[in-house]
Each structure stands twice: as structure tokens, then as C-alpha cells.
Structure 1
Amino acid sequence: MDKKLAVYICTGCGIGDALDIDALSKVATKEYKVPVCKSHPFLCGAEGVELIKQDMEGEGVNTIVIAACSMRVNYDVFSFPNAIMERVNLREQCVWCHPANDEDTQMLAEDSLRMGIVKAQQSSLPEPFQAENLSKTVLVVGGGLAGLTAAAEATRAGYKTVLVEKNPSLGGWVTRLYKQVGSKPPYSELEDVGISQLIKEVEGNSNITVYKGAQIEKISGAPGMFDVQIKQNGNLATERVGSIVLATGAVAYDATKLSHLGFGQYPNVITGEMFEEMAARGEFKRPSDGKEVKSVAFILCAGSRDKEHLPYCSAICCTESLKQALYVKEKDPEATVYIFYKDMRAAGNYEFLYQRVQKEGALFFRGEVAGIEEDGGNLVVEFDDVLVGDRIRTEPVDLVVLATGMVPTTAIGERLIVQADEQGKESEPPADEIIKSNILNLEYRQGPEVPTLKYGFADSHFICFPYETRRTGIYAAGSVRAPMDIPSTIKDATGAALKAIQCIELTAQGSAVHPRVWDLSYPEFFMQRCTQCKRCTVECPFGAINEDEKANPLPNPTRCRRCGTCMGACPERIISFKNYSVPMIGGMVKAIEVPEEDEEKPRILVFACENDAYPALDMAGINRLTISPWVRIIPVRCLGSMNLIWIADALSKGIDGILLLGCKHGDDYQCHFVKGSELASYRLSKISETLNRLALESDRVRMEQVSIMDYDRIPQIIEDFASRLEEVGPNPYKGF
């Protein structure tokens, strides 16, 4: 498109009082020959917006630079169809965190405007990717409580659903319960399990196709166009779906591994599931001799919160054991019930259940079970009591019930060996990477199942994006995602179904899904320069790029989340977006004016992740925290998109230091794009030697991990870096 650029400078919110607006305008009109440059005291008001619209209609303006507040606010106000839009942050990151009418503040504002104009000049209007033959059907894998709820809720919202369950009947774990914990006042009464009505609703709904006794043979394709092969009774059925809800649940921890608690050694040590079967039969009899049970010891956290078994809390053990204690007391009020626990986790309305069990006469002991011994068919529990501070032994009991923990189905299976490298060497993938669990059987280069967190749960950025996995369009729900009780499972499945629907609708519009919702851009490949290095396919966190037989990248745009990690990975720089590219950011770097060495005005370039670091910088400004005037900030989609050429551009320009501010990464990868921050750190480690060889100290480039709540640390992080640069001295390339 033929661009007509216009710059609009807001003078409200203290901007006009702190800056020389005329000098700022000259940057646009004199340096960059921008034909339209106007200022307004209230640009986000109706009059200011109308000013822009009139210029679009009357002057043909189609490329707009708004120099005002942060891009994170008023984005709905400054929304103009069919126009390229660029925001320059003069408020939060300039006048609100720097002294008014100061030379350095003015220089910062002018550099910010230069960078904004260059970016607008080099941007193109995104054209959404439009796939053909898109499906708006939701596939739900797993027919337990989570799967049934997800299928029912998606259908109620008007979307057809395909439900696949491996067992011959629906309902899963919940159908094996005798009773469930009360879900309504007074919450202390047990209720009949109500899943039969939900099963009836799902099986009787013509918009839900149910496959029972079936498994997923293969899933190929991408969001909007997943092709699913389902094997049932030896037959193969094919369904095209738009998104997937993974709801395969969890299984009980293998109690045979708990030999120290007597399971498998003593017949009268059983699991909670076995006790539910007894309750359903209406009688509690010892497995060893059929004697009626008059005393029971419930051992909570049997394998959970134990570094030798399951390090995490399994969420339902406490309340399930309290419920089962009531089974015993309701049948025989005189029966003796012991409950051994580490911590009683019965929060919220479960407190009423806990209080009732106390009133019924159950005996509670806090601490660690040391062992179990048999005494003439009866069992004695040895226990290190935290409250008494001593080891105690119980009176002999008839039965011991172990509350075993919860293991997600995604953690069951064998580890895969990844593809051989170029030297033919095979290697074991990291524990959180690839598990063959035979659930989804995805045709992805990165493996057939969704990657998992360190405990084997289907991965999810649980703080900002619950349900999503590292495979776009596939959402985890229920206990396959995290240990949870029945009410939480119902809410979780509903949320996952809504996310799956959102994915379907956004994909149909050509838009990205979380976190860059409404982003219509997608990566484009200039294949003539591709060297088949595989960096883009290997480093993409979301499996958005496959390979053909010659190792050429095969992008799947509807899988892409537009993080730009592939762009940062490519050494040939052949990957770009219409509104985000390596040359574009390089042009912004080169637009910064670097003072001569004798002016003693160093420059620090900050590449700030737009998810956490950039908002943290905004919050520092909102709280009027003073930031070094040396900084020049460029927001990036993710530090994973950072191409090392930008560092070379900055240093050759004379920039004294480069600070990368990105999300935190780790086992629960709070990096919004999973691996971006980690990849940036890894890439950065590779250039230290090169910098030292060029007589450019590696200290000139630093990376810091910050969360959005670290805004109060931002000024000190920058100040510490600036102090180090003063010790190192000016960039020797300054002035060249």
C-alpha cells in the first residue's frame, strides 16, 4: 500500500508541560519529512480521535504514529481499521519517570519518536492467514467428569463435539465413588454421585458424537483443521475438528510402591478406591478373614508430598478420607476411626465436613507414619506425632486405608529417544519434554504427546493462561492438568471448553490465540536463503514448524502464537512478520542518536519483553519512580525473538550497554511463550567470547529476568547496569 504517514502528539497528562512539543514536532517534519504532524491536549478524547479520523478521510492518512501514553492503554480508543498503527510511549516511560523540562528527558522523547516513526515506515498492514475447510467442532479426549462437562458445555454454547473414551462406559473415576462430598449447604452431608444425569445428557445429545471403547490412532493438522483418526472395535473413523480438550484425568498412585505402609504385605492394608468398593457393597469386612470392621486407620498423603514418591499434594486425599470416615461412623457410630495426616487440607466449605467428622468422634493425629506392623491379623500403626513430640503406637485396628495420590495420565508411558542429530547421535530428551503416553498421537516433529511439567501434568502457564498446553489448540482440563476435586474439575472443564471455542473463532479470523489475541500477522519465510539448519523447527515452543524430507521448514500458521522465536533463531534472517522483523528493529536501533563521548551521555538500549518487562517499566512510571535517562526502550514480542544482529547493530552504533529484560523461566515457565526467555539467555551466552575478542567487554550486554510485579526493582536494575558501564567506559565504536 502507498503510505501516508501522520504523527499525533498528545500534550495531556503532563506531556506538554514536561517537553518542548515544537522541537518534538520538528523531529517528525524536518528529520523524517512526515507530511502531517499535529498535537492535541486530549488525544484520546472524542475530539482528538475525530481529528485523526478526519485526516484519514480527508488527507488519506493510513499510517499513524501516536506519541502519547503506553501502548498498553487506550488500545481500543486508538483503533483505526485498515491503518498501520504505532504507539510512542511519552507518558509512562518518559515524562512520568524523568524530570520535566530536562535536556535528557527531551532527548529521550525525541529518540522514542524517531524509533516509532522508523517502525511505522517499515511496517506493512498484516493480512490474516485464511485456511480452508476449517472445522468448528471440538474434540474432547476422555469421558470422565472433566470430559463430559467439557463436551456438554461446548454443545450448550452451540458447538458440535466429538467425545472419545477408551473405556466401554463413560463417567471415569467418579462412577466408582459410593458417595461424594456435599456440594451445597450445610456441606457436611454426603451426597449421591450425580454423574449419571450428565452421562445421559451427553449420550442423548445429537450434537455430540460419542466413541466408547475407542482410542486416538493419530492426530494431524493444526487448529481449525485437525484431522483425527479414531480406532473403535477394529474400525477406523475420521473426524475433522477445530480444537481439542484433553481430559484424560489421573490414576491412583501405585500402592505397591508403598511397602513401608504395608500394602501388598498385609491383606488388611487397602487403598481408598478399594474402600469405596466396600462402601458400595454396604459392608466393611476385612479382606483377610471377612471379619466385620470395627476400627479403621486412615493414612493421608500415602505417597503424596513425599520426595521419594509424589512431591506434590494430590488435592482430594484429605476430603476423600474425611468422607470415608463418615461412611464408617454412619454405619457404626461406635467404630473407632483414626486419621493420620501431615496437614489437614480441607479449605473453604470442606471445613464443615471436617468439623462434622471431629464431632462424630474420629481421632486425628498430625505427623508422619513410621511404619505398620501386623499383630494377629490386626494392624498397629507407628506414628511420629508432631504435637506430642514422640513416637506413638495405636491400639490394633482391623483395617488400614491408604489415601494414595493422583498421577496424571500424561505421566504414564515410556520416554522417547529424540531424532538423531547430524552426527547420528541420539539423546534422551529432558524430563519435561517428550513422553509417549499413547493418548493423542500427534504428528508433530517434537513428539506425539503434549509436553508436561516436571510432575507429569499436561503443561500450562497456570498463572496467566490456565488450560493451554504447548500445542496450540489443545487445552488440558481436570486432573490431567493439576490435582483437583469435583467442583474444581467442573469449573476447569468449562473453562477449557470456552478456551477451545475461543481458539476456533480466532483461528477462523486468522488471529493469534493467547497471549497475542487479535494479532493478524504470522511468520513469512524467504526460502531462497534457507540453509536447512533446523533452528526454527527445533526452537519453536509450539510445534508450529515441521520439516519436509529435505529439512525445509513447513510452517503451520494456525499453530503459531506469533512470539517470533523462529525469527530470533534464524541465522540467515529469512523469517519476518509484516509488522515485526529483524531489519525493522535494527532500523529502530540505528535511529537512536548517540552523543559523542565527550558529552558524557552514555546510552543503554533496553529490549523489553512486552508481557512482563514492558508493563513493569510502565508501572515504574505510574508510580513516579525515577529511571536513568540513558535508557532507550524497544518492546519485543518475546526475548526469544531477539536476533543477535540487533546487539551487533547497537554496539556498532555506539550504544554503551544493552539490557535484556525478559520473563522468568523455570519448571513452571512463567515466560509467556514457554522457552523464549530461556532461549535468549542461551543465545546470549554464546556471544560473550565474540565480544571480548572484538575488545567489547561482555559486561556491556546483560539479561535480567523480571515479573510484572518487579516494577519497584526496575530502577535499581538499570542503575546497577549503568554503574557497571561507567566502570567499563564508553563504547570504543562511538563516533564511527
Structure 2
Amino acid sequence: GFACGEFTPCESGVEGLFLCGNLAGAKDIPESAIEGAHAAGLAASLMASGAAESFPEGPTPADWREEEPKIGVLLCECDGYNSSRADFNALKEKIASLAGVSFVETIAHACSRAGMSEARGVFAGKEPNRLILASCSERIVADMYNHMFKSMGVHEEVLGFADLRAAVMANTDDTPLSTVAAAVKSSALKGFAVQVSEVADKSVLVIGGGISGMSAALRLSSLGHPVHLVEKEKALGGLAASSRYTLGGGEPAKLAAELAAKVESNPAITLYLGARVLQAKGRVGAFKTAINAGESAVEISHGAVVLATGARENLPKIHGLGENGRVITQKQAEALLAEGKFDGKKVVMLQCAASRSQDAGSLPYCSRVCCTHALKNSLKILESAPDAEVTVLYRDLRAYGDYELAYLKARKAGVLFTAFDPENAPSVKAGSESVEVSFSEPSFGAAVYLSPDYLILSVGMAPDAEEALRLASLYGAEVDDNGFYREKNKKPATADLSVPGVYVAGTGHAPKHIGEALSQAGAAAARLSALLSSGVLRAPKNLSAVDKRLCSRCGLCVEACPYGAREIDEAGKAAVVDPILCKACGACVTVCPNKAASQYG
């Protein structure tokens, strides 16, 4: 009942209409958040050719930290609603007498384009260092005015708000004045740093040329970003290039080939095959990465990076795998079935093979895709040989979301599903050409012995943990205990890593289905583009600062900063703050023994 395609997540088939979350299929919060970002990226790509709304440049703010407050107040008449319920002349006179107030003006309708233009003109003409907009609720006007002032290059903290509409509705004479007076007092007391902005490199480095990396590269190029795509192998495609079919009937190898052709023909994408990242330095907006491309080294300047290094099929040395031709993995069975070379009529599939275990050579986690691969191959076996006997031995069958329908279909088709306790797991005896599987049948407790034509092991997906750790270390990111890249937040930000400007896509983050990998690639591209699309990075409104007269260069603040925003400038003989990385957490202020560290905002 859902309209999105298997390889086109969030796309409804109708141009300009995108679906995400549970509307596109049953899913959990992280997948819904990823699809939301991916859908936003699709919409942005569609609208990329349109002109974005812009405002004329306004005054560039000076360093107002040391200046006395010069506060301007704009009273919105709200097309007569506010002005009919309060005496605006008397109100203006009383507000003008407040400490720090430089002027008071009225505008007819602050929410309208004309009203915004009028407010912009007043600010530019009278040049206050703070401005209070007394109009409707901040929820209604804040986004519009913050956007306008940001476009003018004005510090965010210059602008304050007062809910004049709610005040006049109170029907008391003093409420409008006290509401505006409170906003004026707050504006006078708060401090703020100089608004700092830096030119950001809009180009992006994508590491990994599988379907996630290629999809991210193509989406980024459609959003106006030059892309450098680095792949360690001699060809694009990754794991999908050797995958034959999906549960929904898709052809991953064909998808990989189509994406590769688009990448290779895209003038905005510079492709490096057989290349490896050697060194990296810098931060968001200004990374420099050295790679070896053939026999030469190349340094790439870029503003952000997407890690899409993928994962591989785990190949444990168990049950005769690799020695007995009748013991194979789900991926190997898929290849035999696709080529018409699968000659088994009695088949046993063993789930969680060398997975969810602390044994040597096993994966301690669930790869979440193995159960659906078993369903896919079970149905394919019965499709080619309806009289075949397929037994699936499972610990937990995790056909989550809409994959539950495939489980029901497999049961109706005759697949026998038998659960086992991990403490009493099936036993396998594999000879050179034969295999025997024994297990306890839970319904009557007796042992069952089977001699299948094939024992198909559902093995998990494993990252290249050593390479993932190396790359993560180069960019200051983290990997988890299993070697997957660790996301910034497990719910709303699974495409972001902990370092600004570093993103992840695909199975290098965690095992996932193709559609999920493509969604995450789109989400990474969308979130990255939202950061770099303007070509300018602006510092946050709150920043830490250094009083060079008091700084002893002890380095305690550098060690304490969790964001890497501080370093010692030996030439300047003081600590310095990177305003783009600083989050004003206050750690530097707490450890500075000389009170040289301070915060504004």
C-alpha cells in the first residue's frame, strides 16, 4: 500500500511529492528522521534552479561589546489591532524614557513584506546596536526576522522580541509598557561577541564508491557541490555490484552499474579509483586531505566529508564453510540461484551463524538484514523448485516493518521455521562432501536429524574496522566497539558524526538494506548541503573569548575544550578561539586559572 520504490526511497512517483516516515512504510524513529532529511534533499534538488529569496545587504556590525546599549524599539500596529487597544503615543513616550532606548518607531504590519522592508530601513538608517520588535508572538515573527537580519550580516543577538499583541489583549494600561520594558532591560544586559563569518569550501570529499557513496555524490552534485569521490578498488559498485536480486525483485548489480555510469559522466564529480586517503587536516569548511591516486599524491581541499566505506560479508571458519561445497552463505546461494546452478532440493538455513556471540571469530551484534536475506532465498528456491524442502533454523526472526509480509508469504509457501535456544543451538557435522544438521524440535522436544543438499549460513556484515578507525582518527570522529562509525545521535542525527562537517552513509555506519543505505546517503547530502550551500560559515551567537593580557599560555583551556576550538598561538602569546568550532560550553572558563577566558551571550 506504500508508493515508494525499493531503490527510490521517499519518491512517490509524482514529481514534487515526497513521502517519509511511517507514511512510506512502518519504521522506527532513526529511519523516519533519516527519510525526513532525505526527502528534504530531494525537494532541494528539485528546486535548486530557482532563485532563493534575498535581502539587500545591511550594515556590517562593529564590535558592540564595549559600547553602551543603543536600543531601538519598533511597535507594530498590527493593522490597527494593537494601536486601537493601547494609546501608542503615550506608550512611545514612556518607552523612549527607558534607559538605553535610542528611538521608538511604529510600523503598520511587521509580518508583511512591506513591514519587514520598513523595519530593515529603520535599522539601517538609525544604526542602533540592539533592536526590539514589539509585535505578535515570537513564534510568528522570529524566524522571518532572524532570517532577514542574518542575511544583512547582523549578529543574531542584536534582535529581541516582545509580544505586544498578547499585552494589549490583557486590557490593562501597564501591561504593554511592562512587556516592552522587560525586553529592553534584557537586551541591555545581555552581551554578545562580534558576528564572525568565514568563507567555506563548498566542495565535498566522499570516501567509498559503493551505492551509498555514489548516491551521496550524485545528490551533492545536484545541490551544487563539486565532489571528489575516492574509491580504493579499481571499479565502483561495492558490495552491491555482486548482489543479484532483492526481496522486492530489484537488481542491485544493475543499480550499481547505473549509478557508476552517472558518476563517471558527471562533470561535477572528480573520480579517483584505486586511491587511498593518506592524511587529513583542517575542520568544517576548510579540510585538506591527501590521497594517493595511482603513483602520485594529490591534496584535495574540501569543506566536508562523507564516509561511505561500506562493509563486507563475514566469512567465519565454521561448519565447513569454505571447505565443503555444500556449506555456503546466503550471498553465495543467491549467486547460484541467479545463475540457475542451485541444485538442492533439501535445504537448511542456519540463522545467526557466528553472530550475536562472543566466541572468537563471531560478530557480537545482530546484522538485521540476514533474516530477510533468508526469506528472499527461501522464496526463490521454492519458486524454481516448488517441491523443495526448506527449513529455517532461527534464534529470533527479525523481519521488521513491512518485511513481515515476506515472512507470512514464505510460511504459506511451505517454508518450515523452527526456533532454537542459543544455549542449545543446532549441531553441524560437515564432511568433505556431506553435511548433517541436528536440532531440538521445540514442539515435542525430540532431536531431529537432517542431511540437506545445502546448509546455508546466514552470516552477518562486518566493517573494515581497522580502516574505519584509521579514517575516523584522521577526521576526529569515532568508531564503536564493533568498528562501525559512531553517529552523533542515535535518533535524530544518524547521518552526522560527532565532528562538524563529517557525515556517514551506508553500511559503514551499521548493517542495513539497500533502501536504507540510499536514504542515509541522501540524508547526509541534504544535511551537509544545508551547512555549506551558502559558501559561508557563521559563528554561533554565543562564543568564548580570550583576554590576551591575562593569558599565561598554560594550555588548560586547550585540553578542556571538547570541540577542539582552542589552541595556543605562540606568535600572539595567548590562546586563540576558532569561532566556527566554539560552542560556548564554558569548559575553558571553568579551568582558566587567570580568568583570561570569558563568554559572551
Whether TM-score is above 0.5 comes out as yes
Deviations 1:411-450 (A, max 9, x none): x13xxxxxxxxxxxxxxxxxxxxx97223662xxxxx551
Residues 218 and 441 in structure 1, CA contact (< 8 A), matched pair in contact too: no
Deviations 1:655-697 (A, max 9, x none): xxxxxxxxxxxxxxxxxxxxxxxxxxxxxxxxxxxxxxxxxxx
Amino acid at match of 1:317: C
Deviations 1:338-389 (A, max 9, x none): 123344443555455434433432112345353232467432242574xx48
Residue correspondence of structure 1 range 59-74 to structure 2 within 5 A: 59-67=126-134, 73-74=140-141
C-alpha distance in 1, partners of 2:171/2:511?
A: 53
Residues 546 and 576 in structure 2, CA contact (< 8 A), matched pair in contact too: no
Deviations 1:382-416 (A, max 9, x none): 2574xx4857635333433222233344xx13xxx
Residue correspondence of structure 1 range 251-262 to structure 2 within 5 A: 251-253=312-314, 255-256=316-317
Residue correspondence of structure 1 range 444-455 to structure 2 within 5 A: 449-453=476-480
How big is the shift at 1:240?
1.8
2:538 aligned counterpart, secondary structure: coil
Higher RCO, 1 vs 2 (CA within 8 Å, ≥6 residues apart): 2
C-alpha distance in 1, partners of 2:590/2:444?
A: 57
The equivalent of 2:57 in structure 1 is: none
Amino acid at match of 1:299: L
How big is the shift at 1:534?
3.7
How big is the shift at 1:471?
1.9
Correspondence 1:126 to 2:195 = yes
Matching residue within 470, 487, 502 for 1:438? 470
Amino acid at match of 1:34: V
Deviations 1:129-151 (A, max 9, x none): 34xxx643221101111112122
Q: 1:238 to 1:344 in 2, by over 3 A?
A: same
Residue correspondence of structure 1 range 519-530 to structure 2 within 5 A: 524-530=545-551
C-alpha distance in 2, partners of 1:473/1:161?
A: 14
The equivalent of 2:370 in structure 1 is: 317
Q: 1:66 to 1:178 in 2, by over 3 A?
A: same
How big is the shift at 1:475?
1.1
Correspondence 1:399 to 2:420 = no
How big is the shift at 1:207?
3.5
How big is the shift at 1:247?
0.2
Q: 1:438 to 1:533 in 2, by over 3 A?
A: same
Residue correspondence of structure 1 range 490-509 to structure 2 within 5 A: 490-506=518-534, 508-509=535-536
Residues 426 and 439 in structure 2, CA contact (< 8 A), matched pair in contact too: yes
- Larger displacement relative to structure 2 (199-208 or 47-56): 47-56
Correspondence 1:372 to 2:393 = no
Residue correspondence of structure 1 range 319-358 to structure 2 within 5 A: 319-347=372-400, 350-358=403-411
Residues 219 and 441 in structure 1, CA contact (< 8 A), matched pair in contact too: no
Correspondence 1:87 to 2:160 = yes
Matching residue within 468, 473, 477 for 2:496? 468
Residue correspondence of structure 1 range 95-134 to structure 2 within 5 A: 113-119=184-190, 122-123=191-192, 126-130=195-199
How big is the shift at 1:219?
1.0
Correspondence 1:227 to 2:255 = no
C-alpha distance in 1, partners of 2:153/2:216?
A: 37
Amino acid at match of 1:86: L
C-alpha distance in 1, partners of 2:177/2:254?
A: 68
Amino acid at match of 2:160: R
C-alpha distance in 2, partners of 1:53/1:215?
A: 51
C-alpha distance in 2, partners of 1:236/1:225?
A: 19
Residue correspondence of structure 1 range 214-613 to structure 2 within 5 A: 214-253=275-314, 255-256=316-317, 268-279=326-337, 282-284=340-342, 293-302=344-353, 304=355, 313-347=366-400, 350-369=403-422, 370-374=424-428, 377-383=434-440, 385=442, 388=443, 393=448, 395-409=450-464, 412-413=465-466, 437-439=469-471, 442=474, 449-453=476-480, 456-506=484-534, 508-511=535-538, 524-546=545-567, 553=575, 555-558=577-580, 560=581, 562-565=583-586, 568-569=589-590, 571=592, 572=594, 574-575=596-597, 581-582=599-600
Deviations 1:579-623 (A, max 9, x none): xx34xx5xxxxxxxxxxxxxxxxxxxxxxxxxxxxxxxxxxxxxx
Q: 1:57 to 1:450 in 2, by over 3 A?
A: closer
C-alpha distance in 1, partners of 2:138/2:586?
A: 22
The equivalent of 1:138 in structure 2 is: 204
C-alpha distance in 1, partners of 2:125/2:576?
A: 44
RMSD: 4.5
Residues 27 and 110 in structure 1, CA contact (< 8 A), matched pair in contact too: no
C-alpha distance in 2, partners of 1:19/1:391?
A: 87
Residues 390 and 416 in structure 2, CA contact (< 8 A), matched pair in contact too: yes
C-alpha distance in 1, partners of 2:209/2:221?
A: 15
C-alpha distance in 1, partners of 2:551/2:512?
A: 47
How big is the shift at 1:337?
0.8
Deviations 1:698-734 (A, max 9, x none): xxxxxxxxxxxxxxxxxxxxxxxxxxxxxxxxxxxxx
How big is the shift at 1:17?
13
Residue correspondence of structure 1 range 648-659 to structure 2 within 5 A: none
Residues 240 and 252 in structure 2, CA contact (< 8 A), matched pair in contact too: no
C-alpha distance in 2, partners of 1:475/1:483?
A: 16
C-alpha distance in 1, partners of 2:133/2:551?
A: 37
Q: 1:90 to 1:154 in 2, by over 3 A?
A: closer
Correspondence 1:169 to 2:226 = no
C-alpha distance in 1, partners of 2:566/2:510?
A: 28
Q: 1:303 to 1:87 in 2, by over 3 A?
A: farther
C-alpha distance in 1, partners of 2:322/2:387?
A: 29
C-alpha distance in 1, partners of 2:364/2:88?
A: 59
The equivalent of 2:5 in structure 1 is: none
C-alpha distance in 2, partners of 1:165/1:206?
A: 17
Correspondence 1:75 to 2:142 = yes
Residues 71 and 87 in structure 1, CA contact (< 8 A), matched pair in contact too: no
Residues 219 and 227 in structure 1, CA contact (< 8 A), matched pair in contact too: yes
Identity of aligned residues (%): 25
Residues 522 and 562 in structure 1, CA contact (< 8 A), matched pair in contact too: yes
* Count of matched residue pairs: 519
C-alpha distance in 2, partners of 1:69/1:243?
A: 39
How big is the shift at 1:69?
6.0
C-alpha distance in 2, partners of 1:72/1:537?
A: 38
Amino acid at match of 2:197: P
Unaligned runs of 5+ in 1: 185-189, 285-291, 414-434, 443-447, 586-736
The equivalent of 1:642 in structure 2 is: none
Q: 1:555 to 1:169 in 2, by over 3 A?
A: farther
Q: 1:266 to 1:486 in 2, by over 3 A?
A: same
C-alpha distance in 2, partners of 1:125/1:547?
A: 21
Residues 535 and 566 in structure 1, CA contact (< 8 A), matched pair in contact too: no
The equivalent of 1:429 in structure 2 is: none
How big is the shift at 1:467?
1.7
Matching residue within 185, 195, 217 for 1:151? 217
Residues 196 and 538 in structure 2, CA contact (< 8 A), matched pair in contact too: no
Q: 1:240 to 1:197 in 2, by over 3 A?
A: same
How big is the shift at 1:218?
0.4
How big is the shift at 1:474?
1.5
Q: 1:536 to 1:331 in 2, by over 3 A?
A: farther
2:528 aligned counterpart, secondary structure: helix
1:116 aligned counterpart, secondary structure: helix
TM-score norm. by structure 1 comes to 0.59
Q: 1:153 to 1:22 in 2, by over 3 A?
A: same
The equivalent of 2:40 in structure 1 is: none
Residues 313 and 462 in structure 2, CA contact (< 8 A), matched pair in contact too: yes
Correspondence 1:178 to 2:244 = yes
How big is the shift at 1:40?
7.9
How big is the shift at 1:487?
1.3
C-alpha distance in 2, partners of 1:458/1:272?
A: 28
